[in-house]
């Protein structure tokens, strides 16, 4: 598709000559005879010229005033001005307004052509850069958190609110693979610190000494092997965000140092006497129950309360299975792209297997399972034999089930699963007799029948 060139020229003959000249050189030319007409093309008809070639003085005004007024309303274009009597003052102003170049009338067509070609290249490069930056920002926009369930909509709303307040610290908790890392990035990139760095560290990945020197930095000679001065992560995150992943794994002694840094907003590099002021926002993530760790004496209570100024619990995937409808096609499309496959159909049976599974590894597990299926697909059908999803049976090992039911409270069953499981068990024991089952469950036959239907269970009519 040819690129668009807008020519603003009031001399009719020159205008149509220029238009013909550039059409021959594969430009899609629009000709405006004055600024009003140019504005109509740009604003009402939304033409998006790569280059604008404009006369300087037009019957209804000066083209520089026009450029200044219209620039914020239009996409990025390069502007070239042709003028019979170019003045220095005009050219200085044109440069300040970001014009590409000037050319004096009458202009040599080949020179003008080179100029317009150059302006086109420059505008194209600018647009590419703009697209890249937009892509980076939108990668971690709120929309990156996929899912339309009520739970996820609420979560998105909370993230939006939190990103808009200047919090000093926040704890994100949730099971593994629920999206804590993704949410930390969204909070940073949609918040007021988005232009400053986001520095991430996994507290479980490093031994205590190394984690300390990474966080606080060191001076040359602070310990064996410290050859050069090293700026720590706190300093690197200055004015931005420090993301402490798996904070629950941090050594108690190091927690003390962290607390001091967070409270004083000052740190000292290892081996240094001088304190450095730091301005960082802390996001900590954990898949452990921190409060329980506090009770067990494995996490400092004061640090917990200092970091827990705000907290966000990310629900597990089994609490928001409705999101599967958006997540599954998304991950299949991603995997298609990566492996040059074209999986487009998901059978009813595959959907049921996906929906009935409890996803202990959450969204990460879902993405991995779908990637495996796409890789092993032969055609457009998602191969359900490669889903390999089996919920572990409830653990009933150490229980005599004669007059009760054992229910694992390890998160493997949702409330609904528990209800369904209890009803199923009682029906098994009453030989599917609803009256007897209702008595055992202390409910009415009607209520039980309704639930039997809801969970698609079997009972005697």
Residues that bind ligand ATP in the complex, under the rule CB under 6 A: 145-147, 174, 176-182, 287, 363-364, 367
Fill in the per-residue mask, 154 to 183: x = in contact with Mg ion (CB under 5 A), - = not in contact: ---------------------------x--
Judged by beta carbon distances under 5 to 8 A according to partner kind, the member of ligand ATP, Mg ion, none in contact with residue 145 is: ligand ATP
Judged by beta carbon distances under 5 to 8 A according to partner kind, the member of ligand ATP, Mg ion, none in contact with residue 80 is: none
Dihedral Cα 375, 377, 379, 380, nearest 10 deg: -80
Write down the least CB distance from residue 121 to ligand ATP, Å.
36
Report the C-alpha gap between 290 and 331 in whole angstroms. 31
The tokens 């020197």 sit on which residue? Answer: 213
Distances in whole angstroms, Cα of residue 180 to Cα of each of 101, 176, 259, 287, 340: 49, 8, 22, 9, 29
Lookup: tokens for 123: 């505008």
By CB under 5 A, the residues from 238 to 257 that bind Mg ion are: none
- Which residue lies nearest ligand ATP, judged by its C-beta? 179
Report the C-alpha gap between 359 and 362 in whole angstroms. 5
Lookup: tokens for 42: 């740009």
Report the C-alpha gap between 105 and 413 in whole angstroms. 80
Judged by beta carbon distances under 5 to 8 A according to partner kind, the member of ligand ATP, Mg ion, none in contact with residue 240 is: none
Lookup: tokens for 148: 């339309």
301-308, Cβ contacts within 8 angstroms, sequence gap of 24 or more? 302/259, 303/255, 303/256, 303/258, 303/259, 303/262, 306/169, 306/259, 306/262, 306/263, 307/169, 307/170, 307/171, 307/247, 307/262, 307/282, 308/169, 308/171
When the beta carbons of 120 and 174 are compared against ligand ATP, the nearer one is 174
Write down the least CB distance from residue 205 to ligand ATP, Å.
11
Best CA proximity match to 280, nearest among 254, 253, 312, 258: 258
SS3 content of the chain, % helix, strand, coil (to 5): 50, 15, 35
When the beta carbons of 204 and 226 are compared against ligand ATP, the nearer one is 204
Q: Which residues contact 357 (CB under 8 A, 6 or more apart)?
A: 389, 390, 391
When the beta carbons of 180 and 341 are compared against ligand ATP, the nearer one is 180
- Is the peptide bond between 106 and the residue preceding it cis, with omega within 30 degrees of 0? yes
When the beta carbons of 80 and 328 are compared against ligand ATP, the nearer one is 328
Structural contact between residues 144 and 186, judged by C-beta atoms closer than 8 angstroms:
yes
Lookup: tokens for 395: 């653990």
Write down the least CB distance from residue 149 to Mg ion, Å.
21
When the beta carbons of 178 and 255 are compared against ligand ATP, the nearer one is 178
- Which residue lies nearest Mg ion, judged by its C-beta? 181
Judged by beta carbon distances under 5 to 8 A according to partner kind, the member of ligand ATP, Mg ion, none in contact with residue 76 is: none
Judged by beta carbon distances under 5 to 8 A according to partner kind, the member of ligand ATP, Mg ion, none in contact with residue 238 is: none
Task: Assess 361 for contact with Mg ion (CB under 5 A).
Answer: no
When the beta carbons of 181 and 361 are compared against Mg ion, the nearer one is 181
Report the C-alpha gap between 98 and 427 in whole angstroms. 78
Judged by beta carbon distances under 5 to 8 A according to partner kind, the member of Mg ion, ligand ATP, none in contact with residue 182 is: ligand ATP
Write down the least CB distance from residue 160 to Mg ion, Å.
21
Judged by beta carbon distances under 5 to 8 A according to partner kind, the member of ligand ATP, Mg ion, none in contact with residue 149 is: none
Write down the least CB distance from residue 125 to ligand ATP, Å.
31
Write down the least CB distance from residue 178 to ligand ATP, Å.
4
Fill in the per-residue mask, 28 to 57: x = in contact with Mg ion (CB under 5 A), - = not in contact: ------------------------------
When the beta carbons of 191 and 217 are compared against ligand ATP, the nearer one is 191
When the beta carbons of 364 and 429 are compared against ligand ATP, the nearer one is 364
Alpha-carbon torsion (283, 288, 291, 297), positive or negative: negative
Judged by beta carbon distances under 5 to 8 A according to partner kind, the member of Mg ion, ligand ATP, none in contact with residue 316 is: none
Write down the least CB distance from residue 281 to ligand ATP, Å.
18
Write down the least CB distance from residue 319 to ligand ATP, Å.
12
Write down the least CB distance from residue 367 to ligand ATP, Å.
5
Lookup: tokens for 377: 């697909």
When the beta carbons of 146 and 422 are compared against ligand ATP, the nearer one is 146
Strand-by-strand arrangement of the 4-8 sheet: 28-32, 4-8, 51-55, 78-83, 101-104
Write down the least CB distance from residue 244 to Mg ion, Å.
11
When the beta carbons of 120 and 147 are compared against ligand ATP, the nearer one is 147
Judged by beta carbon distances under 5 to 8 A according to partner kind, the member of Mg ion, ligand ATP, none in contact with residue 77 is: none
Using DSSP, state whether 349 is helix, strand or coil: helix
When the beta carbons of 186 and 350 are compared against ligand ATP, the nearer one is 186
Count of residues near Mg ion by CB under 5 A = 1
Dihedral Cα 69, 7, 82, 70, nearest 10 deg: 10
Binding site residues, Mg ion, CB under 5 A: 181
């Amino acid at each position: 598709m040819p690129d668009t060139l807008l020519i603003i020229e009031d001399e009719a003959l020159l205008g149509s000559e220029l238009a013909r000249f550039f059409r021959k050189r594969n430009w899609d030319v629009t000709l405006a005879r004055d600024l009003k007409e140019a504005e109509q093309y740009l604003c009402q008809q939304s033409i998006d010229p790569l280059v604008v070639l404009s006369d300087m003085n037009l019957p209804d005004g000066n083209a520089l005033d026009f450029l200044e007024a219209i620039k914020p309303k239009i996409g990025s274009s390069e502007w070239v001005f042709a003028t019979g009597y170019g003045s220095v003052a005009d050219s200085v102003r044109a440069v300040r307004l970001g014009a590409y170049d000037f050319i004096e009338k009458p202009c040599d067509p080949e020179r003008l052509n080179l100029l317009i070609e150059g302006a086109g290249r420059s505008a194209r490069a600018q647009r590419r850069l703009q697209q890249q930056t937009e892509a980076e920002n939108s990668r971690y926009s709120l929309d990156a958190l996929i899912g339309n369930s009520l739970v996820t909509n609420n979560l998105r709303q909370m993230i939006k609110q939190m990103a808009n307040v200047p919090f000093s610290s926040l704890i994100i908790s949730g099971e593994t693979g629920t999206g804590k890392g993704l949410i930390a990035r969204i909070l940073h990139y949609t918040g007021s610190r988005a232009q400053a760095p986001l520095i991430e560290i996994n507290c479980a990945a490093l031994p205590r000494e190394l984690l300390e020197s990474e966080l606080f930095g060191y001076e040359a000679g602070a310990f064996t092997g410290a050859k050069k001065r090293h700026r720590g992560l706190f300093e690197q995150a200055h004015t931005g965000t420090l993301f402490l992943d798996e904070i629950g794994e941090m050594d108690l002694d190091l927690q003390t140092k962290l607390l001091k840094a967070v409270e004083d907003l000052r740190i000292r590099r290892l081996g240094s006497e001088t304190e450095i002021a730091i301005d960082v926002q802390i996001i900590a993530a954990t898949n452990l129950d921190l409060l329980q760790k506090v009770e067990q004496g494995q996490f400092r209570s004061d640090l917990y309360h200092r970091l827990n100024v705000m907290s966000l619990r990310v629900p597990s995937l089994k609490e928001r299975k409705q999101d599967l409808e958006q997540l599954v096609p998304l991950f299949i499309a991603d995997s298609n792209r990566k492996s040059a496959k074209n999986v487009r159909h998901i059978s009813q049976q595959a959907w049921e297997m996906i929906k009935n599974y409890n996803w202990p590894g959450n969204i990460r597990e879902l993405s991995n399972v779908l990637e495996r299926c796409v890789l092993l697909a032969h055609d457009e059908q998602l191969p359900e034999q490669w889903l390999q999803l089996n919920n572990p049976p409830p653990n009933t090992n150490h229980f005599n089930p004669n007059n009760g039911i054992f229910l694992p409270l390890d998160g493997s069953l949702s409330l609904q699963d528990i209800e369904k499981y209890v009803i199923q068990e009682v029906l098994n024991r009453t030989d599917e007799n609803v009256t007897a089952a209702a008595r055992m469950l202390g409910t009415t036959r009607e209520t039980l029948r309704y639930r039997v239907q809801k969970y698609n269970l079997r009972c005697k009519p």
